[in-house]
């Protein structure tokens, strides 16, 4: 049984599957790292344990994303893709879940990072 049949990528081609899986991974990662900020009254140990539990699912998507993606992308491209996806997911999460609007400086910083990431994909 291949890894592609076990994952919810909907039969996407190898060049799109890691993107879909990294988006899923980053949603879990963002909740693991920042979701507890809405519950600052909760004990830190509970926040850590909950974050570990959520992070398990992040790894369930990230590891296959990199395994499948390595057939199409270099490790540097996969890492760069993951970082850009992380910024996009975080921006949406911050605005919708945490209620913190992005500033123009943050937006510009993200654009500059995305521009740098584009260099990694230039041949």
Q: Could you tell me the residue range of the domain that residue 95 belongs to?
A: 12-120
Q: Are 21 and 68 a contacting pair, CB within 8 Å?
A: yes
Q: What is the mean pLDDT of the chain?
A: 90
- Each residue's pLDDT tens digit, 63-100: 999 999 999 999 999 999 999 999 999 999 999 999 99
> Which residue has better confidence, 117 or 94?
94
Domain count, the chain: 1
* Residue 4 placed within a domain: no
* Residue 3 placed within a domain: no
* Residue 7 placed within a domain: no
Residue 8 has pLDDT above 70, yes or no: no
Residue 48 has pLDDT above 90, yes or no: yes
Distance of CA 55 to the CA centre of its chain: 11
Q: What is the pTM of this model?
A: 0.83
């Amino acid at each position: 049984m291949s890894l592609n049949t076990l994952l919810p990528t909907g039969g996407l081609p190898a060049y799109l599957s890691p993107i879909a899986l990294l988006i899923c991974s980053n949603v879990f990662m963002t909740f693991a790292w920042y979701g507890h900020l809405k519950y600052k009254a909760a004990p830190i140990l509970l926040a850590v344990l909950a974050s570990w539990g959520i992070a398990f699912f992040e790894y369930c998507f990230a590891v296959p994303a990199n395994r499948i993606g390595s057939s199409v992308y270099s490790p540097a491209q996969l890492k760069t893709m993951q970082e850009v996806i992380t910024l996009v997911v975080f921006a949406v999460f911050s605005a919708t879940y945490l209620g913190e609007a992005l500033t123009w400086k943050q937006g510009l910083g993200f654009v500059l990072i995305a521009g740098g990431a584009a260099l990694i994909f230039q041949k």
